[in-house]
Amino acid sequence: MHIFYTPNVNGNSYTLSEEESKHCVKVLRLTPGSQLLMVDGIGNLYQGHITDANAKHCTIGIDSVQHNFGKRPFSIHIAMAPTKNIERFEWFLEKAVEIGIDKITPLLTQHSERKVVNTDRLEKIIMSAMKQSIKAYKPELGPLTDFSTFIKEQQNGAKLIAHCIDTPKPLLKNVLANYSEFTILIGPEGDFSPEEVALAKQYGYTDISLGKSRLRTETAGVVACHTVNVIKEDE
């Protein structure tokens, strides 16, 4: 069944945006009576049917709603330096949303090779992945933030930094107990600098390992996201 992102649902009917209406009527060729799903980004999954198949303002009649659809008892915030090849960061974003994530913040670090991001494009990737994986909660995309600024911001729960500096570090999977909120920092292709790691630890971050393999930035982000989901879902 086709699924649409429909924020601000109110009442027993909803009119799709012009872009979504065109996709629904012109591309998918749905007609009056066609069944579809809608998610509003704040936890509600709606089932409905088309009442007016207009390519500019397609109207949906709402038949039922599930509240708190897919709600998890834990949250994940990954702050990661965007890769030089933005397609790799976009791949991470898509996969993290599919797996389950609550917030992503692009980081500007000492070794960052990419210092700008197209927020509108990233938001579209989030929405597409959200619909594809039938997620009713839309992850928040934070602004591109300087590392030192981010470190000093208040974060609840476990605060973790993954890096490749050769020091004894516990595996991520072994430090997740007793927490339900996680902020995980992932560095750029050149890794965090020793000064950044020291600053993070000064502000309460614990350094962690994602395993024996040396991972690409985007792979590390996916591994961190998946590890937390697997461990916490099994508790």
Residue 168 has pLDDT above 80, yes or no: yes
| Phi–psi pair at 42, nearest 5 degrees | -120, 25
Take residue 71 and report the two structure tokens written for it: 């709600």
Take residue 2 and report the two structure tokens written for it: 């086709």
- pLDDT tens for 93-147 read 999 999 999 999 999 999 999 999 999 999 999 999 999 999 999 999 999 999 9
Rounded Cα distance, 122 and 179, in Å:
29
pLDDT band at 234 (very low <50, low <70, confident <90, very high): confident
Other CB atoms closer than 10 Å to residue 157's CB: what's the count? Answer: 15
Take residue 60 and report the two structure tokens written for it: 């949906």
Rounded Cα distance, 109 and 162, in Å:
14
pTM of this structure: 0.93
Q: Give the pLDDT of residue 126.
A: 97
Q: Which residues does 148 contact at the CB level (< 8 Å), separation at least 6?
A: 199
- pLDDT tens for 185-198 read 999 999 999 999 99
Helix (H) or strand (E) holding 162: strand 158-162
Helix (H) or strand (E) holding 225: helix 217-233
3-state DSSP call for residue 100? coil
Q: Give the pLDDT of residue 1.
A: 83
- pLDDT tens for 18-54 read 999 999 999 999 999 999 999 999 999 999 999 999 9
Tokens 């012009």, residue located: 18
Rounded Cα distance, 158 and 146, in Å:
20
86-99 vs 119-132: helix crossing angle, rounded to 10: 30
Q: Give the pLDDT of residue 120.
A: 96
